[in-house]
Amino acid sequence: MSCAQVSYCIELDLKQPSDHAPLIVDLHIIQENICVCKIVLKCDSKEKVAFLLIMSKGLSQLNFYTINSVVGLNSLFKMISEPFVDHWVTYIKRIIVTTQSKE
């Protein structure tokens, strides 16, 4: 927004006993179309519970004590990431937030 679009007025008549005076500013608000896509697990949903149960069961079965090399770490990372991605896609919900969306 350029300075030419902002108008202001210093109200000296409304000055209080101090040396401060109110400043009134007019800001012109232009209409904006908002469209944002989010990928979520809804809070307190059956999908979230199922996802967390599946992931916690899978993670509890991993053996973290055998990591003794970069290859072992990469293998463990793969065993964690693949089920996470697979189950995330199964349980997510895509939502689109627009200007007219509810809070």
Using 50, 70 and 90 to split pLDDT, how confident is the model at 103? low
Q: What is the pTM assigned to this prediction?
A: 0.50
Element (H, E) at 40: strand 35-40
pLDDT of 3-53, one tens digit each? 556 787 888 777 777 778 888 888 777 777 777 888 888 888 888 888 889
- Residue labelled with tokens 């896509």: 37
Provide the token pair at 87: 């189950």
- Residue 55: count other Cβ atoms within 10 Å of its Cβ: 16
